[in-house]
Structure 1
Amino acid sequence: MRWSKKSGNDSPAFHRKKVTVVGAGNVGATAAFMVAQKELANIVLIDVMDGVPQGKGLDMYEASPVIGFDATVMGTQDYADTAGSDLVIITAGVARKPGMSRDDLLSVNVNIVAGVTEQIVRYSPDCVILVVTNPLDAMVYTALKVSGFPRERVIGMAGVLDSARMRAFIASELDVSIEDVSAFVLGGHGDTMVPLPRYSTVAGIPITELLSPERVAAICQRTADGGAEIVRLLKTGSAYYAPGASVVEMAEAILKDKKRILTCAAYLEGEYGVDGYYLGVPCKLGGRGIESVIELDLTADEQQQLEQSLAAVRQLVRDVDALEHF
């Protein structure tokens, strides 16, 4: 029996999406594997560590016959292999250790993200960039300035993760299905994030009608401390399953042009009274990135909290500008 090499994939009309994940650490590898499992795209996993992306990429691909996904996973250290990517996910950087804030990572990670972005622009000038590296609001700002891309195509992943943590805590508190819980968390990705209980619901019912103010406040505080709680427990690392899943939810919305309403770190140009900074806000996410920013009517207290969060982001941006002189 002879088998022709020609397949449907050789048709000029066929185009399988291509995703590059920069950084083969826990978050990057988790995200890459989830993208493969969902068959969203072929994946290129790139890292500076010799053999690590190649080994992890091969390991993932060898899992495909067992799980049953048709997507290739390639590990490399050569950015030429990433050429023509539709989406690039940046997870590269130093992870938080116990006692470190996200902001402590700034001086190290800003140089990493700037260098990565230069390579991305060189090989994939039409891609969407999705930044995960912390401190998130400063890193996505760095990627925007270095890339020169329009704001729609440089997005930060934070709000999906923060909202997911809040959803988990609400479901646990009320002993209900996670499928019926929604939550909104705005602002910067850090201690000053702004959970919105009024917009957080169980089957459409605001949690403010289901829980006491004290329990709502406790959930909001635990949400803000969510990353630090896991760092304390792990002792030698930081979260990666929930961040990986969160970035893949955003990636799927982009790659499938789903028009999902998700909280993204978006560069604001007048929305919410903010101009020239990244903040987590609800956005419509589609094939070319952020299609629109949705402005919620905030109470005076919520607006004040958002302004406090913005103040923290402003300081980070000043620190970035001092380091990189864009």
Structure 2
Amino acid sequence: MNKVSIIGSGFVGSTTAFSIAMSGIAQEIVLIDINKDKAEGDALDIGHGIPLMSPANIYAGDFKDVKNSEIIIITAGANQKPGETRLDLVKKNVAIFKDMIPKLVEVNKDAIYLIVTNPVDILTYVTLKISGLPKHKVIGSGTVLDSSRFRYLLSSHYGVDPRNVHGYIIGEHGDSEIAAWSLTNVAGAPIDHFCQICEHPCNGKFKEEILEEVRNSAYKIISKKGATYYAVAVAVKRIVECIARDEKSILTVSSVLNGQYGVNDVALSVPTIVGSNGIEKVLELPLSNEEMAKFNKSAEIMRSVLESVGF
């Protein structure tokens, strides 16, 4: 991949730039922030390590510098404060996006737009509607991080490599997200079966406790150090890799659904094939009746939030 632009050089944006630079998947990385000094400082700091990594040109720029970018990653917006939910951010960040997105599209309407700013599902939808871009070119980072947290927690419980744990968090990247237990397996064994054969029992509250810990992970980290950024940067880097390498990997990114799972005109996260075109295909995998009901409830919450901000 030749060029990636990152809008917002705060905790998440700068760490994402560092992760992408470390991976060697982009030859040119542009950092853009309202605080130009911060962007320049981050670019210099990362750039000084380039001789020890893969060659890349990293620098601070302005909106005009998104020209020719293949991916535009948006992390800019108000930060989530301790005690504040992702949805509390909605009005502030929708206003920011209404101003920002048209300016970016004016310079580059061919890039894939990867939205990371919270509430990511709302802002993915807002970006699509404001930009006029094709659906497959507007992607939210969604529950890629949540699904990683889910796999990490399950692997810790069972004492196995997280790469052998397969499962998805779907729906909202937030409090109404759902663990798709019916699709979760360890080494190919359904989770309920694996609980029977492993040496770590799964009591009646096991699933509820795991999901609650996934949901509260960000709040816990924010209360201890003010922000989350390392793992989300890795999640964003992983999405960029899938696009850059046309991997056709399956990730729980957020996109505007068109009838999948009975949901229309709302952005939510579900297993999705991601490749060079962005959203290659939204997969409609079989969920239990309980999971479907919770997924539709998550969609209703997103719809009510969108209506509250005029969409």
**Pairwise TM-score range, normalised by the shorter structure:** over 0.9
CA distance in 1, matches of 2:290, 2:109: 42
Contact 1:208 1:216 in 2 (8 A): no
Equivalent residue runs for 1:88-127 within 5 Å: 88-127=72-111
SS of the counterpart of 2:255?
strand
Q: Which runs of 5+ in 1 are unaligned?
A: 1-15
TM, length-normalised to structure 2: 0.94
Shift of 1:107: 1.2
Shift of 1:135: 0.9
SS of the counterpart of 2:81?
coil
CA distance in 2, matches of 1:33, 1:18: 14
CA distance in 2, matches of 1:251, 1:114: 24
1:310 corresponds in structure 2 to 299
1:7 corresponds in structure 2 to none
Shift of 1:207: 2.4
Shift of 1:216: 2.0
1:79 corresponds in structure 2 to 63
Shift of 1:181: 1.6
Residue identity matched to 1:60: I
2:256 corresponds in structure 1 to 267
CA distance in 2, matches of 1:165, 1:231: 15
Shift of 1:154: 0.4
Shift of 1:212: 3.2
Equivalent residue runs for 1:21-32 within 5 Å: 21-32=6-17
SS of the counterpart of 1:321?
coil
Contact 2:271 2:283 in 1 (8 A): yes
Residue identity matched to 2:125: Y
Contact 1:265 1:281 in 2 (8 A): yes
1:174 corresponds in structure 2 to 158
2:271 corresponds in structure 1 to 282
CA distance in 2, matches of 1:278, 1:301: 20
How many pairs are equivalent?
303
Q: CA offsets per residue over residues 175-195 of structure 1, 9 Å max, x none?
A: 211221222111011110011
Shift of 1:85: 0.7
1:142 aligned onto 2:142: no
Q: Which runs of 5+ in 2 are unaligned?
A: 196-201
Flag as ranges the 4+ runs of structure 1 deviating above 6 A. Answer: none
Contact 1:93 1:109 in 2 (8 A): yes
TM, length-normalised to structure 1: 0.90
2:31 corresponds in structure 1 to 45
1:12 corresponds in structure 2 to none
1:157 aligned onto 2:146: no
Q: How high is the sequence identity, in percent, across the aligned residues?
A: 35
CA distance in 2, matches of 1:251, 1:129: 11
CA distance in 2, matches of 1:141, 1:147: 10
SS of the counterpart of 1:143?
helix
CA distance in 2, matches of 1:217, 1:280: 20
Contact 1:36 1:72 in 2 (8 A): no
Q: CA offsets per residue over residues 55-83 of structure 1, 9 Å max, x none?
A: 101110111123x221111112x211221
Q: CA offsets per residue over residues 193-249 of structure 1, 9 Å max, x none?
A: 011122222222222221334212210111122222212222xx2211111111111
2:206 corresponds in structure 1 to 215
CA RMSD of aligned residues (A): 1.3
Shift of 1:167: 0.9
CA distance in 2, matches of 1:222, 1:284: 27
Contact 2:72 2:114 in 1 (8 A): yes
1:254 corresponds in structure 2 to 243
2:41 corresponds in structure 1 to 55
> Which protein is bigger by CA-based radius of gyration?
1
CA distance in 2, matches of 1:153, 1:127: 7
Residue identity matched to 2:39: P
Shift of 1:320: 2.6
Contact 1:207 1:216 in 2 (8 A): no
CA distance in 2, matches of 1:160, 1:190: 12
SS of the counterpart of 1:33?
helix
